Structure 1
C-alpha cells in the first residue's frame, strides 16, 4: 500500500496568516481540501481561493524563513530600499546577483576581508542607493551586516533608514560618541546602520583619525559584512582615503553620466595605493 500523500499542515504559514488576521480559523479546512485535490502548497491554495493576496503570502514566507521583507505601510524606512520592500523585483534580483559575485570575489570567509568601501567618481551615480540596497540583500542572506555612512559631506543613509542618532560616524571619529550610535534596523534582522551624524567642518581630517581603525576592528569582530558609503571622488579625497584604510572598493558608475577618463584616473589612483578593486557596477541612465 502506498503511503498517504503528505499535505502541508496549516502550521507554519497558516498560523502566521491567522495570527496576523489575514485568515480565519474556518478558512483552514477549505484551503487544505484544495491543497489535497490540486496538489498545491498551502499558500498557493489560499491565493487560488482568494482568501489572501500574493503580498500576504510573501510576508508570511519571509517570517517563516527569517527573511527581511517589508510591506508598504510597514515601518518608516524609505521606499528607495527596493530590496526590502520589493524583494522579488528586477532591481532586488540584480542586487542578489551582485551580492553573489562579491561573495565569490571578496567576502569569502577570510576574517581580513569583511570590509568593502563603495565609491564613485561623480555625484548622483547611485552609490548610496546601491550601498543601502546591497546591505539589505546581505542581511537577507543571514549575514550580520553593518552599513556605515562614511559620506561626511552630503550623507544620505540617515534619510533612507530614518536613523535617530545625530552623533553617528563623525561623532565616533571625533571621540564624542561610542558604538551605541550604531542602530538596528526594524524589520530587517541582522542589519545595522551607522549614520554619518552631523556634517563636520573637517571631514577629511576626521577620516584620517586613529579612531577609524578601532571602529573597523570592532566592526569586523561583530559583523560578517561591512559596507561603507563614501562621498564622490570628484569633489574630495575622502573616498580614496577611506578605501586605502579598508583595502577594498566597489566602483559605481552611471551610463551616459560618469566620464570615462575621470573614472579611469580614480581607479588607477586606488590601485596605486594598494586598494583591491573588487568590482564595478554600471547603473542605467
Structure 2
C-alpha cells in the first residue's frame, strides 16, 4: 500500500480554522494529568512520580521531559499519553493491526494527520453542518489515495464524537478490509444481493464510534448491484443510525459505479495525484457527477 502526503486542498477555502466545532462533540471533561495517565498505564510508579516532581522543581522541565531525562519512560510513551491527554488518543504501533498509513490513528499529532483534520473541519463546515450525513470519496484514477483518505477521515470524525460509518462501496477492488484488518466476511455486496445479514457493520474496539462495512464477496455485476433499490434501503437504515456515512468508491476512470453511490450521497470529494492527474480529468469528473445530481464538495491533491 502506497503512502501519501496531503499537500493541497483545492476546495473548500483554505482559510477555514482547523479547530471548528465537531459533529456531535462529547461534553468537555477535565483534562487528565500526564503523570496520572502514565501511572494508570503502568509506565510509572508513585515513587517515580515523586522523583519527576522533584526534578521539575529544580529544572523547570515539563513533566514528560523530566520523566524522559530520568530515563523512567521512553519519549514515545510521553507522546502517546500526551495525545490522550489532549483528547486525541493515539494507538501504539501495530495496535489493532491496522495499516500503518492510518496516520489519524497512529500519529494524530503529526503533520499529515493535522492536514487531514483541517480537511475534515472544512467538510464539516461546508457539507455536514447543513444536516447532511453522507459523502462519497472518489479517486480520479486508481491509486489516487481515495481509500486511505476515506479511512483517515472516518477515524477523525469518530474521534470527534460522531457515530461514523465507513462503507467500502468499491465492489471491484476493495481495500478497507485490509486497511482495518477485517477478517473476510459478508459485506455490502452480500447484503444488497440478499445473501447476507442486515447487520453487516463491524465495530472497531480500538476506535470507538467507528464502524466499517466491508465490500464483501466480489460480485460479477457491481454496477447493477449498486443500482438496486436494496442499496438505497440499506443505506437509509444506516443514515438513521449514524451521524456520518462515508463511501469509498471505485476510481472515476475505472468504472461507472461511482454514479449510483454519488447520487445516493449527494456529495463527492474528488481525489487526484498532483503533477499526474490531468486537470481536464478533474473537470470531466465534476461535469459527469453534476449530471448525476451530485455536488463536488472538495478536491484533494495527493503526492506520492
Question: Taking structure 2 as the reference length, what is the TM-score of the superposition?
Answer: 0.83
Any idea what the Cα deviations from partners look like across 1:120-156, whole Å, max 9, x if unmatched?
A: 2211111111111111122222222111100000001
Q: Spell out the pairing of 1:111-126 with structure 2 (5 A cutoff).
A: 113-126=132-145
Tell me, yes or no, if structure 1 residue 76 matches structure 2 residue 97: yes
| 1:47 CA drift (Å) | 2.9
| 1:45 CA drift (Å) | 3.3
Choose from 63, 78, 88 the match for 1:42.
63
Choose from 239, 257, 267 the match for 1:248.
267
In the other structure, the counterpart of 1:56 is: 77
Choose from 228, 249, 256 the match for 1:209.
228
SS at 2:138's partner residue?
strand
| 1:210 CA drift (Å) | 1.4
In the other structure, the counterpart of 1:3 is: none
CA contact (8 A) 2:96 2:181 kept: no
CA contact (8 A) 1:31 1:46 kept: yes
Larger Rg: 1
| 1:37 CA drift (Å) | 4.5
Higher relative contact order (CA 8 A, sep 6+): 2
Tell me, yes or no, if structure 1 residue 236 matches structure 2 residue 250: no
SS at 2:268's partner residue?
strand
For structure 1, which runs of at least 5 residues remain unmatched after alignment? Answer: 1-10
SS at 1:181's partner residue?
coil
In the other structure, the counterpart of 2:238 is: 219
Cα distance change of structure 1 residues 129 and 73 upon mapping to structure 2, 3 Å threshold: closer
CA contact (8 A) 2:203 2:211 kept: yes
In the other structure, the counterpart of 2:126 is: 105
CA contact (8 A) 1:69 1:188 kept: no
Question: Taking structure 1 as the reference length, what is the TM-score of the superposition?
Answer: 0.88
Aligned mates of 2:74, 2:199 — CA distance in 1? 40
In the other structure, the counterpart of 2:48 is: 27
Aligned mates of 1:135, 1:95 — CA distance in 2? 11
| 1:12 CA drift (Å) | 4.5
CA contact (8 A) 2:80 2:89 kept: no
| 1:160 CA drift (Å) | 0.5
CA contact (8 A) 1:244 1:273 kept: yes
Aligned mates of 1:104, 1:190 — CA distance in 2? 21
Q: Spell out the pairing of 1:78-157 with structure 2 (5 A cutoff).
A: 78-108=99-129, 110=131, 113-157=132-176
CA contact (8 A) 1:145 1:191 kept: yes
| 1:84 CA drift (Å) | 1.1
CA contact (8 A) 1:122 1:232 kept: yes
What is the Cα-based RMSD across aligned positions, in Å? 2.0
Number of equivalenced pairs: 273
Cα distance change of structure 1 residues 233 and 166 upon mapping to structure 2, 3 Å threshold: same
